[in-house]
């Protein structure tokens, strides 16, 4: 039965765990299969065609696991590949993009800061969303160079990370930014550091809970909710070193049912 099939989730690495965490909170009975493409991480500096090819491989893998819906828990892969994936595969996709709309609605100063990867900022999706929702707002964009790598190395709470984050965020605050959008799923791991730097001067927008709501709505409306009364099973496939990945799982309070290294 399709409703008992797992939800597929993927990212270039551990970033999508921030989305996975919210999905588990909203939908604890769902089985999930998470694919971390750590071998090809980071995506943000890669060419669009490459990210499309990585995403296609992962989608094929997840389809073999009989997933009922795929969450592209990566802003960069969504920007680069989601149009292509939607054209090529019949399955329902939920993508991620920097939360420009809520930031544009909530800002009082008219200044929005967005931290994301180079690939995300270069995507058509980002250009169009910014034009649609924030044309009369002042957007400060900042490529989070080096940040994804720090998360993948388990250094999300390091002095090194704090120095880089300060360099990126302080100029935004100095420019009266009152909405700071986390436009890469890896950056959620820096939330304690970011909150320390921001000191309440800006609202920090992490789109992960909204993505989980979208997944929940789609499963409800498609009559695809798992009818089981048992907690869902979670399987993680990692194609690089799985040790950091397993070290990050407790941070999102997830016990992995299974971490499977793949070649
Ligand atoms: N976590 C991803 C994102 O949301 C990808 C980061 C990367 O691999 O560069 O953009």
What does the domain layout of the chain look like in residue ranges? Answer: 2-96+209-261, 100-206
For residues 31-50, b (16+ Cβ closer than 10 Å) or e, as one string?
Answer: bbbbbbbbebbbbbebebee
Distance 237 CA to ligand 1 centre (A): 17
Looking at residue 129, its pLDDT comes to: 96
What are the tokens at 136? Answer: 């009369």
Token digits for 117?
A: 């990867």
What is the rounded average pLDDT of the residues 76-89?
98
Q: At what angle do helices 191-198 and 159-174 cross, to 10 degrees?
A: 40
Q: Which helix (H) or strand (E) holds 58?
A: helix 48-64
Residues above pLDDT 90, as percent of the chain = 92
Of ligand 1's listed atoms, the one at least distance from the Cα of 184 is 4
CATH topology assigned to domain 2-96+209-261: Rossmann fold (3.40.50)
Task: Supply the DSSP symbol for 68.
Answer: S
Alpha carbon of 178 to ligand 1 centroid (Å): 24
Do the domains spanning 2-96+209-261 and 100-206 agree at the CATH topology level? yes
Active site residue 41: no
The CA 229 to ligand 1 mean position distance, Å, reads 34
CA distances from 36 to 16, 58, 84 (A): 8, 9, 20
Q: Report residues whose beta carbon is within 6 angstroms of any ligand 1 atom.
A: 11-12, 15, 41-44, 74-76, 117, 120, 148, 184-186
Per-residue pLDDT reduced to its tens digit, 48-58: 999 999 999 99
By C-alpha distance, which of 101, 84, 189, 100 is closest to 144? 189
**What whole-number distance in Å separates Cα of residue 122 and Cα of residue 83?**
15
Q: What share of the chain is helix, strand, coil (3-state, %, to 5)?
A: 50, 15, 35
Specify whether 74 is catalytic: yes
The mean pLDDT value for 223-247 works out to 92
User: 100-206 has which CATH code?
Assistant: 3.40.50.1860
Residues 132-186: pLDDT tens digits?
999 999 999 999 999 999 999 999 999 999 999 999 999 999 999 999 999 999 9
């Amino acid at each position: 039965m399709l409703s008992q099939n797992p939800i597929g989730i993927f990212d270039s690495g551990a970033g999508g765990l921030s989305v996975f965490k919210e999905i588990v909170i909203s939908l604890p009975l769902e089985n999930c299969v998470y694919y971390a493409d750590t071998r090809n991480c980071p995506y943000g500096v890669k060419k669009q065609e490459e990210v499309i090819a990585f995403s296609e491989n992962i989608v094929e893998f997840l389809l073999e696991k009989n997933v009922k819906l795929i969450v592209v828990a990566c802003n960069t892969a969504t920007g680069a590949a989601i149009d292509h994936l939607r054209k090529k595969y019949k399955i329902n996709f939920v993508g991620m993009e920097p939360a420009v709309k809520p930031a544009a609605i909530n800002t009082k100063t008219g200044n929005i800061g967005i931290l994301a990867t180079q690939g995300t900022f270069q995507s058509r999706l980002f250009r169009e969303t910014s034009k649609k929702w924030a044309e009369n707002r002042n957007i400060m964009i900042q490529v989070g160079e080096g940040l994804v790598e720090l998360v993948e190395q388990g250094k999300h709470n390091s002095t090194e990370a704090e120095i880089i984050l300060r360099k990126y965020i302080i100029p935004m605050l100095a420019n009266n930014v009152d909405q700071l959008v986390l436009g890469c799923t890896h950056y959620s791991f820096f939330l304690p550091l970011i909150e320390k730097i921001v000191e309440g001067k800006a609202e920090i927008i992490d789109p992960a809970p909204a993505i989980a709501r979208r997944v929940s709505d789609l499963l409800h409306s498609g009559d695809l909710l798992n009818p089981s009364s048992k907690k869902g099973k979670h399987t993680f496939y990692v194609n690089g070193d799985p040790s950091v990945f397993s070290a990050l799982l407790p941070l999102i309070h997830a016990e992995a049912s299974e971490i499977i290294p793949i070649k």
